[in-house]
Amino acid sequence: MNFTGDWSDEEWYDIQGLKPKYHDDEARSAGDYDSTTDPVRLGGVAESVNWVTAGKMGPVKSQGGCGSCWAFAATTAQEAAQAIKDDTSPVRLSEQEGVDCCTRSGGCNGGWMDHYWSFSMEAGSQTNEDYPYQG
């Protein structure tokens, strides 16, 4: 349970802020998923891992009134992937950097995780400590 647990749907959607124009990568639609190459189905990895109890996920975050869920989703995935790869604790990355600098997305008006990932591959990623979230 968190601070939005007793909110109405209207209150919840009001703070999200996503106003998508379109997503330019239609190839990633759910219909393109090929379950025959899924490593979990093929037995190549464990059927499940709880990355929270394994210490690879950071604490719950809040985007406030800014429609920056895309930046939070992108940084959280990056943080966990790096922590898993390096067998370390996650280092919080800067969502604000994505909101301010990822020009392919719309800042507080919404965006897409893969745009932030492309930006991060080109420019690198600041930590939240160096570039704190303001919304």
What are the tens digits of pLDDT across the range 25-60? 444 444 554 555 555 455 566 678 899 999 999 999
The pTM of the full predicted model, rounded to 2 decimals, is: 0.67
Query: How do residues 58-108 score in pLDDT, each as one tens digit?
Result: 999 999 999 999 999 999 999 999 999 999 999 999 999 999 999 999 999
CATH architecture of residue range(s) 52-123: Alpha-Beta Complex (3.90)
Residue 124 has pLDDT above 80, yes or no: yes
Domain boundaries, the chain: 52-123
Q: What is the overall mean pLDDT for the chain?
A: 81
Provide DSSP, the chain: --TTTT--HHHHHHHH-------S-GGGSGGG--GGG-TTTTTSS-S---TTTTT-S------TTSB-HHHHHHHHHHHHHHHHHHTS----B-HHHHHHH-TTS-TTB---HHHHHHHHHHH---BTTTS----
